[in-house]
Amino acid sequence: MVGSSHEALHRIFQKDPALLTRALQRVLDVPFPEPREIAALNVDLTEIEPVERRVDTLLRAETDEGTYLLVVESQGKVDDRKRGSWPYYLSYLYEKYRCEPVLIVITQSSATARWASRPIRLGFPGWHSLTVRPLVLGPDNVPVITSERQAERDVPLAVLSAMTHGRGPQAPAILESLASALRTIDPDSAAVFVQFVDSCLADPQAKQMWRDLMTAIQYFWRHPLAEQVREEGREQGRAETKAEMILRILEWRGIPVPDAVRERVSACTDLDQLEVWAQRAVHAKDAAELFVEQ
């Protein structure tokens, strides 16, 4: 199970390695050649036993223009000690594999993105022995995907959008579009993506909205994070929990909930009826639409 946003931010590229080259081409406008094949490599860069060095994700991309090593580093905050290790990673990998390493940093923080994007120059002014220029993916350049159609066209990119922008004001629209797009892919991949997003959502309200959305479309119950919600459901009663979930979805989508609607939903004990209302809550434009027969 993914235990932190740090893990999810780079492991999504292990799940879909091709997403990384698409992000370089479309988000950063870097003319990276189209890979014929991408393979994950051992991330352990330890050279001497007492000194252990590991990159977060390491991929090998075979292209018509040559072989490249894609070094993905997930960075939560400014850390000059970590930044100092990047030139070592690239030099070591070049020496070991004899192909070109490319450093990609991914972060949820704009300030960290600005810090990470600064070139690292080793040497003296006017004559740098080594220059490292990280490619950075962050909230300032990863697209905000709020359209269901756009999310369905590239679900992994929509997942990256949710992971990167999950704390911003557009989080509800991003999460809603992704929730709908997950229905269009195989359930096993969807369950993995659900976990990545859940791990990266630092805002408690956004995380709760995501879990409500996933419960409504039956994905959330397929992965380990659901156990906590299951326990809560056993204590409070399944109908009561489902009713609260419906009301939270409406409120998080910015839809006013009149007292009459709140009372009718809260009083309902029919699980099948509550499930129907939960499905409608994801797309309703007005709270009263919960009760309109299709």
pLDDT of the residue at 236 = 52
pLDDT of the residue at 158 = 95
pLDDT of the residue at 221 = 45
Residue 284 pairs with which residues in a beta bridge? none
Residues of the chain under the 50 pLDDT cut? 220-221, 232-233, 235
Tokens of 291: 């009760």
Percent of the chain as helix, strand, coil, to the nearest 5: 55, 15, 30
149: Cβ contacts below 8 Å, ≥ 6 apart: none
Round to whole Å and give the CA distance between 255 and 258: 10
pLDDT of the residue at 2 = 53
Q: Which amino acid is at 19?
A: L
* DSSP SS3 for 40: strand
200 closest CA partner among 111, 114, 109: 109
